[in-house]
Every structure is written in C-alpha cells, then in structure tokens.
Amino acid sequence: NVKLAVNDAKDVASYAHRFNTQTARAVGAEAEPDEVPGVKVHAPVGCFVIGSAVPDVVAAGQAVTLSMYPSTQVKKFVFEGGEDFLELPQAFFHYVAWMSGGRELVADLQ
C-alpha cells in the first residue's frame, strides 16, 4: 500500500529526528547537531503511473512508490539479525522500540 509506505517513512523520520536531537544533546553538540553521527531517512514518493512500457510490471493507473538510491551498493545494518553489530543503527532500532512502548519496530535499516 503506497499510503502506508509513505506514512511509515514519515514516522521513521520523526523518530530519527528525535533520536538525532537526543544524541547531539548527550554529547554536548546541540549547537552543531550535523557534526554528530546520526540517522538519515530516505523516504519514498507516492505516484500514479500515467503510462507504462511494461504493463506486466506496472500498469497505467496503478499507485507506486519511487525511491532514488544514489549508491551502487547496499549495506544492511538491521535486516535479518545476522548482521555485524554497529552501534548507531542498533541504538536507533532499540530507541524506536523503547519510545513506542514496543508497538513499533524499524527494520531493513540500510
């Protein structure tokens, strides 16, 4: 569902902003929060297809999400549980779980 994907990204971005603000405050860098490592959220854009050269994949009139990913490689941080431990993505994962009272979990962090 396109609307759900866009709303999920908005919710994750809100958590990321609060996490980054708290992280900057914890290290005394409130005046320079961009100098502190943080979480960035790449949000999709919801679109309607007006024409398609491959209607078997996506047909005119369908709603889709589009995401631009500028990197040529993807590094998974929190995906299936077997990834190498990295402090920032793991801390963010636990931050969201804690702040939501366990109602929300972020996954597929890249």
Q: Measured between alpha carbons, how far is residue 4 from residues 1, 9, 28, 34, 44 in Å? A: 5, 9, 36, 29, 11
CA angle 84, 71, 68 (to 5 degrees): 115
- Quote the strand ranges of 56-107, DSSP E: 63-66
pLDDT of residue 9: 92
pLDDT of residue 29: 80
Q: What is the pTM of this model?
A: 0.79
Q: So where are the chain's domains? A: 2-99
Stretches in the chain below the pLDDT threshold 50: none
pLDDT of residue 89: 85
Contacts of 25 (CB under 8 A, 6+ apart): none
Helix, strand, or coil (residue 25) = helix
Look over the chain and give the mean of its residue pLDDT values, rounded to a whole number: 87
Helix, strand, or coil (residue 94) = helix
